[in-house]
Amino acid sequence: MQSEGEDQRQNVVGAFQGEQLYENDEGRALEILKTLVLKVDPSAQSVKLLVQHLKWKRSFMPLGYIKEEDISKELRRNQIMLQGQDKFGCSVVILLTARHAAYERDLEEIKRLFVYTFDKAAASNSNGQTKFVIIGDLQGYGLKNMDIRGYLSVLEILQNQYPERLRKLFLVHMPLLFWTAWRMVSPFVDKVTRDKIVFVDNNFVKETLTKEIDEEFLPSEYGGLANFVPIQDAEVPGWPLGSTE
């Protein structure tokens, strides 16, 4: 169970991750920040973290969102799916890791791809929910897919810029090679994130996932009734959020 301080920090961060900081409304954004912090968490550390997040977002996404044309090469691989919600109202993201080409990728495009994924997944939720579940499918994973630098870059963004957005990460169909990658990455996984990772036995994939996700949203590959929906094809009302165009 989270402490009261952790809950307060999550509330502030969750509320503010929907705000955009641009050159022409920095004062407005910081005024909202002040109001939120005074309401739920007056600590100076939270102020510092949120200001850092806003500055990062302003630098990384000047338009307030990632254009699909700026991640078109990676989107064409159809390696990320967006499948609806789990039983807690959190969006479901599926990563088909064998479709990732480690030796062909551009690291900056990978970073943009996952920021796009995290934002679109959060925006696809209902009832104010902002978290998401990820299924990392390692079926067919091999050396050509292993990308330690890419994993660490995405992990840094997830843990530093999207704290508490991840509800759970299910890893399925893990080959022996996966554990080599895990040994290199795991020292950089913080405790909060590590506690949300579930290593699923191959014999219990359907049983494990259907406890969390209704069959209507779970692809047939995992025992459900749905088809894969590439994230760029998923319809999200009002998307992209934060557009200034």
Q: Report residue 229 as tokens.
A: 């929906």
Choose among 82, 88, 115, 119: nearest CA to 227. Answer: 82
Q: Can you give the pLDDT of all 245 residues of the chain as single tens digits? A: 444 444 455 555 555 554 444 444 555 655 665 565 555 555 556 667 777 888 898 899 998 899 999 999 999 999 999 999 999 999 999 999 999 999 999 999 999 999 999 999 999 987 778 899 999 999 999 999 999 999 999 999 999 999 889 999 999 999 999 999 999 999 999 999 999 999 999 999 999 999 999 999 999 999 999 999 999 999 998 888 755 45
| pTM score | 0.82
Sheet containing 80-85: which strands, arranged edge to edge?
80-85, 91-96, 132-137, 166-172, 197-199
- In the numeric block, the tokens 């330690």 are attached to 148
